[in-house]
Each structure stands twice: as structure tokens, then as C-alpha cells.
Chains A and B, each alone.
Chain A
Amino acid sequence: MGDEFFQRQPLLTTTGNAGDLDEDIEFTSRVRNGSAVKLEMPLDDRGGGNVTGQTHFPKEKWKTLAAILFVLIGFLSTTISLCITHELRPATADPLPDLVLDHIPYYRVALDISEVMIMVTTLSCAIIVLCHKYRWILVRRICLIVGLLYMYRAVTMIVTNLPSADARYQCDPQLNTTLTGIQVVQRVFKIMSGFGLSINGQHVYCGDFIFSGHTMILTLCYLIICEYTPKSFWLLQWFSFILGWGGVVALMLARGHYSVDVILAYFVTTRLWYIQHTVIAFSQLQQHSSNNTLTNHLSRMWWWRILVWFEKNVRQPLPNEFEIPRPWRIFYRSARAAATQAATAAQTAANRPRRDPARDI
């Protein structure tokens, strides 16, 4: 009696695969019922990736959360660095001689124009990323490079303090005492509420010259738009290019930064982008060495391991496909999953007594 009972148990148990619909679960379960074979189709049909047999790009949301944490650390370090730099900078020194600034006219309003351009290009970039089919992977990559750039900026701002390029810019007066923790926190909130732009009047802490955050964002948005939009979007790519140049020219006209800040920002942003995306694209560069000799020198970068961890399961270049993001689908999906799970459980419970024991022998 006992042996028959155990022999009649299915070989593979059907487990509820509605637990996490976001992961692509492709296994099928076979339930023996005489000669009948029960195949369970995966419940998730999103994107058609499974149906057509294309490479799957796992979302791995936890990695994206880690990337967001990384970029928040970058923002925080830059903001704290700015608070301290403001105190250290030479407030009374004249601006340094500069090849470009000394030969162009000064327009105060150009800084606002430059920041409007930054907002436009950032917004278009954000729309592209949010509407991209593989937005979670994109956000991860962008957070990595933005976090890196902000961390580097935090270091370069604070180590050597240049005098203000624009003698007429209103900076808050310096305190003559050491900053207390509370004051730093207050300043951090004030700076973050302005997002680093002076157009809303929150950027009153000066000294952040090397390297230029404005140029960095303009360059980065152009690179993102060029990489993650298909060739048919050439108008948008050109528009972003013009905005980038226009933003930099306007920045210089307003004496927002020195020329060396702009050059360094462009150099660092483009170099890091090139390295990051080449490592992503070529799997050899995700290996440290082969045959016991170091072939891949890019692995000596301190952030290489983080990048490799992020990109481990992205095996192919991302196709540039877009869709309207539907955040409510998450709730819908959970509700649907719960309903399906309940239905499956009910069906399994109902199925068991119906099986004819005689047919399994």
C-alpha cells in the first residue's frame, strides 16, 4: 500500500512559479498521469522575448538599487565637499587669467540659458531612459558613471581651491569658524534642493571649479542619447549635440567656469564612458587575465569589478527598443500572480482525488 502510494507521486512537483514573475522562469513541469504529460507554460509573456527565443536581458533590480545607492553616495560626497570648499576658497582673490574668459564678453543671463539647456537635455535623456525597454539595465549603467564622476569631482573640488571666475557672482559669505556637523547638514540640504543649478537661487556656495559639473552633464546626456537611441532618432541626437555645445558656450559667456574645468570635464566624462561601454561590449574585457599574464589592463581600475558584477548577465548589446512605461503593471502583475497562484492551488487540490490509481501501474 505504502509503495504504491509513493510510486504514484509525480516525478517533478509543480511549484508555484508565480512567486516572482519578473524573473524569466522557463522550466516546465511534467506531471505523470498515465501517458499524459502536463506541460506548464510560463505565465509571463512580457516583451515577447521568450516566445521568439531572443537573448533575455534580466532586470536584476537589486543591482540597479545598488547602483542607485552608489550614485547617492556620489551626490552626497560632492555636496559635502562643496560645503567645505566654500569655506576654504580664496574669496578675495581676483579671477585667474584664462585664455577664453579674457577674450569674450560677459553676459550674466547666459548662465541661466546654459542651465535651461541642461534641464532640457537631461529631461530628454530621462524620457529616453524611462521609455527604453531595458530601463533597469540602463539606469544601472548611468548610475555607475554618474556616481563615479561625482566622486571624482568631490575630490578635485576640495583639494585645490580656485578663486571665483566670475567676480560678480553672489556667493554666501564665509564663516570664520570651523563648520559644525549641523551646519554641514543644513548646507547639504540646501544644495541638493537646487540640484546643483544656480537658476533657482540655491547655489550660493562657490568654489566648485575643477571640474565643471555643467559640462559633465551636457556631455553625458549627449553620449547617452547617442548610444541608446536608434539611428532613426538622428534629429534628437543632433539636437542634443547642439544643446551640449550651446550650453558650454553659454557657460563660458557667463564666466561660470574656467576653460581648464570644461576641458577636464569633457576629458574625464568621455574617457570613462568609452572605457565603461567597451568593457560592457566585449566579454574579454570582463576577464582579468588569460594564461597567467595580465592582458586586460582596464581591470586595474578600482571600479572595474563593480562594472563586471553589474554586467555579468547582459551578454549582448542592448537593442534600442522603446515602450511606454506602465508602472501600474507591477500592481496588476502582482494581483494577477496572486489570482493565478490561488487558481493553481485549487486546481491541484481538486485534481488529486480524480487520478485513477489503477492507471499508474
Chain B
Amino acid sequence: ELLKVFLSLLFTIFGFLVTTVSLALTHERMPDYDPLPDIVLDNTPYQKWGLDASEYVLIVLTLLAIAVIVFHKHRFVVIRRVFLMLGLLYFYRAICFYVTVLPKADPAYYCSPQLNHTITFVELMQRCVKIISGGGLSINGQQVYCGDFIYSGHTMSIFLAFFIIREYSPRKFWYLHGVVLALAILGIIFLLIGRGHYTIDVIVAYFITSNTWWTYHTMAHTQVLHEHGEHNYLTNHWWFMGLYYFEANVPKRPLPREYNLPIPDSLATKVSELVNRRGSQRDGYQEIV
């Protein structure tokens, strides 16, 4: 159902754009105060490499998650779900860091100077392009617009990747799940000691990501939760209609964990026919002999 995949992709892109515009505007409002007191940041030593290390962890986890999705037999269902949730989470993030702006957690981090005039539309677009080109990561030097603290996009992406890997990779890979969890926690620790975010950002990001993931998947696995009823509160979520539309033709139970190569079906059939013909030819020779 490629139309649904396309729509979910649009939704994610919309979420990215809103976050980017929001960040470009938030940068102007960021106050020039000292970093706020924070229970973790004030009691751990500062490591300059922390933020970069957490971003490398994030990249590794994201690649693993993408691999899991690509090789999953029902990849389009998974992609739709992930895109819907990503779009949602980015949209929430855009609202959260714009309404109240926290000062920089890391005094040594370079932030572009603020403009002294109201930002024009052209400047806003330029900033958006710059931010998007960096993908939200600071290791490529494009993340020079600050102020996006509540809540942490790094934590959100790390945990989303962890949830994807845990849910959609084979169950017997439990050692992989353990390693991924350890990596995720390490990534968060690096983020905090690099003063990339405050502790509250991490906590709120974990809460929102985990709640959304669990609620979405419980609804996707249970038929009765798709029906509006007096006692079905989960349909009160504003994104319920999106879920209902995307999951309309998906059976309401956990996706079977089946994997195959991401090649189109027609090609896959041809390949298997070829293999079978070869095999039967060989058998045929043997029979004659």
C-alpha cells in the first residue's frame, strides 16, 4: 500500500519542517543566561567529545534499525508506523522547545550570533536549509542554531531505534537487543556528559517516545481498540485517525517476524524459478543416469 507509505513520509517531512522552522525561530529567543542547575550536569565532569560520541552511537543505532526494517518481510507496514510516530514526535518537539526557551547547557558550544532584527522570511529559509543539511546532528558542523532543549531529539531517536530493533528483529537475537540497549544507555550518558542536553530533556523524551510507541503498538495489535466506544480512551488521541487509516488492512496482531531480501516480488520469483529449474535439471540428469 504505497500510497499510505507516501502519506506517512509526507507527515514525517512535515514534522521535520515544523521542527526546523521552530528551531530557526527559537534561536533568536534563546536567553544568554548561565546554564541551569541540573542534577547530572553539575555532578559529572564535562567531556568535550561527549556530544560527538553520542551522535556516532545514534548513527550506528539508526543504521541497525534501518537494516532491520529493510530486511523485514512486511517492511512497508513497519515504515508507515515508524514514519507516523517520527512525524508525531518531531511535531511535539517543535512545540515544546519553542514555547519556553532554556539557556545553553554547554557554555563552550558554538552558537551563531543572534540577529538584532526580526528575522525575515529569506533568512528563515536559509537557516532551515542549513539545519536540514546537517540532519540535526552537530558532528558535521551545521547545528549552530541553539535553544532546542525540551525535549531531546537525540534521546528520542536513540530510543526509537532501540524500540524498532527490539520489536522487529528476530526474538532469538536477544543478545543483540541487550547490546543495543547498552549502546542506547551509553549514548545518553555521552550526551549528558557532553552537556548536549539537560537531564529533564532526556527524561521527557524517553517518556514521550516510549508512551507513544507502546500505545501505538498496543492499538495496532488489538482489534477492539480500533472501535470508538465509551470506554476506549485510546481513540481520543488526535492521531488516531492516522493509525486507523494506516492499519486498516493490517491484521490486528503482532507482525510475524519474517525476513527476506528487499527485492521486488517479480524479481524474487524469477530468481527462485531459476534456482528450481537448475535444481530440477540436475535431478533430471541424475535420474537418467
Is A294 a contact partner of B99 (Cβ separation < 8 A)? no
Which A residues touch B254, using CB under 8 A? 293-295
* A47 on interface, CB distance cutoff 8 Å: no
Interface residue from B30, B96, B218, B237 paired with A285 (Cβ < 8 Å): B218
Is A274 a contact partner of B100 (Cβ separation < 8 A)? no
Take A295-B221, A297-B214 as given contacts and tell me if A159 and B200 are in contact as well, using a CB distance cutoff of 8 Å.
Answer: yes
Interface SS of chain A: helix
Cβ < 8 Å to A, chain B residues 94-134: 95-96, 98-103
* B39 on interface, CB distance cutoff 8 Å: yes
Task: Report the contact-size class of chain A (Cβ under 8 Å from the partner).
Answer: 35 or more
Of B57-65, B76-84, B228-236, B269-277, the stretch lying at the interface with chain A is B228-236
Is A268 a contact partner of B234 (Cβ separation < 8 A)? no
Interface residue from A94, A271, A293, A298 paired with B33 (Cβ < 8 Å): A94
* B150 on interface, CB distance cutoff 8 Å: yes
Is B213 a contact partner of A297 (Cβ separation < 8 A)? yes
Interface residue from B208, B214, B232 paired with A281 (Cβ < 8 Å): B232
Is A263 a contact partner of B99 (Cβ separation < 8 A)? yes
Interface residue from B34, B95, B210, B232 paired with A90 (Cβ < 8 Å): B34
In the complex formed, the residue of B with least CB distance to A99 is: B99
* B177 on interface, CB distance cutoff 8 Å: no
Minimum CB–CB distance for A66 against chain B, Å: 24
A-facing mask of B195-231, CB < 8 A → 1, else 0? 0001111011001101101110110011011000011
Cβ < 8 Å to B, chain A residues 246-297: 258-261, 263-264, 267-268, 270-271, 273-275, 277-278, 280-282, 284-285, 293-297
A-facing mask of B63-97, CB < 8 A → 1, else 0? 00000000000000000000000000000000110
* B253 on interface, CB distance cutoff 8 Å: yes
* B264 on interface, CB distance cutoff 8 Å: no
Interface residue from B37, B96, B100, B237 paired with A161 (Cβ < 8 Å): B37
* B29 on interface, CB distance cutoff 8 Å: yes
Interface residue from B101, B201, B230 paired with A96 (Cβ < 8 Å): B101
* B36 on interface, CB distance cutoff 8 Å: yes
Cβ < 8 Å to B, chain A residues 78-110: 88-90, 93-94, 96-100
A160–B198 Cα distance when bound, in Å, is 7
A161–B218 Cα distance when bound, in Å, is 35
* B40 on interface, CB distance cutoff 8 Å: yes
Is B29 a contact partner of A97 (Cβ separation < 8 A)? yes
A94–B33 Cα distance when bound, in Å, is 8
Minimum CB–CB distance for B59 against chain A, Å: 26
Which B residues touch A152, using CB under 8 A? 207
Which A residues touch B210, using CB under 8 A? 300
Which A residues touch B40, using CB under 8 A? 159
Is B233 a contact partner of A273 (Cβ separation < 8 A)? yes
Q: Which of A97, A158, A293 has the most CB of B within 10 A?
A: A97
Take A96-B103, A274-B233 as given contacts and tell me if A90 and B224 are in contact as well, using a CB distance cutoff of 8 Å.
Answer: no
Is A274 a contact partner of B234 (Cβ separation < 8 A)? yes
* B38 on interface, CB distance cutoff 8 Å: yes
Minimum CB–CB distance for B84 against chain A, Å: 16
Take A274-B233, A278-B232, A298-B218 as given contacts and tell me if A100 and B99 are in contact as well, using a CB distance cutoff of 8 Å.
Answer: yes
Is A99 a contact partner of B37 (Cβ separation < 8 A)? no
* A37 on interface, CB distance cutoff 8 Å: no
Is A278 a contact partner of B233 (Cβ separation < 8 A)? yes
Is A90 a contact partner of B253 (Cβ separation < 8 A)? no
Which B residues touch A301, using CB under 8 A? 214
A95–B17 Cα distance when bound, in Å, is 29
A317–B253 Cα distance when bound, in Å, is 25
Which A residues touch B101, using CB under 8 A? 96-98
Take A97-B101, A297-B217 as given contacts and tell me if A282 and B224 are in contact as well, using a CB distance cutoff of 8 Å.
Answer: yes
Is A259 a contact partner of B203 (Cβ separation < 8 A)? no
A295–B200 Cα distance when bound, in Å, is 31
* A206 on interface, CB distance cutoff 8 Å: no
Interface residue from B39, B211, B214, B221 paired with A160 (Cβ < 8 Å): B39
Interface residue from A94, A260, A285, A317 paired with B100 (Cβ < 8 Å): A260
Take A273-B233, A300-B214 as given contacts and tell me if A160 and B100 are in contact as well, using a CB distance cutoff of 8 Å.
Answer: no
* A340 on interface, CB distance cutoff 8 Å: no
* A156 on interface, CB distance cutoff 8 Å: yes
Interface residue from B34, B37, B214, B231 paired with A89 (Cβ < 8 Å): B37
* B178 on interface, CB distance cutoff 8 Å: no
Q: Which of A88, A260, A271 has the most CB of B within 10 A?
A: A260
A-facing mask of B22-58, CB < 8 A → 1, else 0? 0000000111011011111000000000000000000
Is A90 a contact partner of B37 (Cβ separation < 8 A)? yes
Known: A160-B198, A161-B36, A296-B221. 16 other contacts (CB 8 A): A89-B37, A90-B37, A96-B33, A96-B103, A97-B30, A98-B100, A99-B99, A99-B100, A159-B40, A274-B234, A278-B231, A278-B232, A285-B222, A293-B253, A298-B214, A298-B215
**29 residue pairs A–B, Cβ–Cβ below 8 Å:** A88-B39, A90-B33, A93-B34, A96-B33, A96-B103, A97-B101, A98-B100, A155-B203, A156-B203, A160-B38, A160-B198, A210-B150, A210-B204, A258-B99, A260-B99, A263-B99, A264-B96, A264-B204, A271-B211, A273-B233, A274-B233, A275-B233, A275-B234, A282-B222, A282-B225, A295-B221, A297-B213, A298-B214, A300-B214
**Residues of B at under 8 Å CB distance from A?**
29-31, 33-34, 36-40, 95-96, 98-103, 150, 198-201, 203-204, 207-208, 210-211, 213-215, 217-218, 221-222, 224-225, 230-234, 236-237, 253-254
